[in-house]
Amino acid sequence: MPVPPLTLLRWQFDLTWSLFEYHLGRLEPADFLWEPATLCWSVRCSSDGSWTPDWADTEPDPIPVPTIGWLTWHIGWWWTVAMDHLQGQPPRQRTDVEWPGAGEPTVAWLRDLRTEWLGLLDRLTDADLEGTAPFPWQDDPDPTVTHMIAWVNSELMKNVAEIGQLRLLRAQPRSNV
């Protein structure tokens, strides 16, 4: 018997999120701003206490290594934009999505985004899945909501792997060799 598309997409999301929880529960506040290389993108605290992510409108060469802080801000940005699109709302600008800060504030924020996302998925019908979704493919004439949900799963999986790898690298004992 074929699995309904939303059931499969939800299963994939839940699997990816379970892998993310493994890392979220082990992150220390200092992990978020650890810079593993000379050239890094991070989030920087301004004089008013808000956080600003490093950004370039044209991808730099070489590409900077993102910190966990930057990656978690990035997840929050693209996910809020995906939710805006799914709800038919004007998408927030990159500069409107604020990173809450290292440690528990960001972990709680990401968990809240997950709860909001699942609430939106629970309201979808099969007919909704075939609707047009302009995000993230502005140039593709036929993307559906199904495509957007699959993209969210893929993007989350990629970011989870990056965060996990950075966390594991930071936790390794350093050799003097």
Q: What does the pLDDT average to over 23-43?
A: 96
Per the CB < 8 A criterion, the answer to whether 156 and 16 are in contact is yes
* 130 has a pLDDT exceeding 80: yes
Between 42 and 4, the more confident residue is 42
Write the CA distances from 88 to 14, 39, 81, 129, 163, integer angstroms.
24, 38, 11, 14, 30
pLDDT reported for residue 173: 83
> For the ranges 47-51, 113-117, 119-123, 137-141, which has the lowest average pLDDT?
137-141
Q: What does the pLDDT average to over 122-150?
A: 85
The span from the first CA to the last CA of the chain, in angstroms, equals 57
Vertex 56 angle, CA 65 and 53, to 5°: 65
pLDDT reported for residue 142: 79
pLDDT reported for residue 176: 54
Average pLDDT, the chain: 93
Q: Name residues whose C-beta falls within 8 Å of residue 165's C-beta, 6 or more positions apart in sequence.
A: none
Question: pLDDT category, 177, cuts 50, 70, 90?
Answer: very low
pLDDT reported for residue 137: 67
Question: pLDDT category, 121, cuts 50, 70, 90?
Answer: very high
Q: What does the pLDDT average to over 109-116?
A: 98
Q: Tokens 């629970």 map to which residue? A: 122
Chain CA centroid to CA 170, Å: 20
pLDDT reported for residue 132: 85
User: For 77-89, how does the pLDDT look when each residue is reduced to its tens digit (9 = 90+)?
Assistant: 999 999 999 999 9
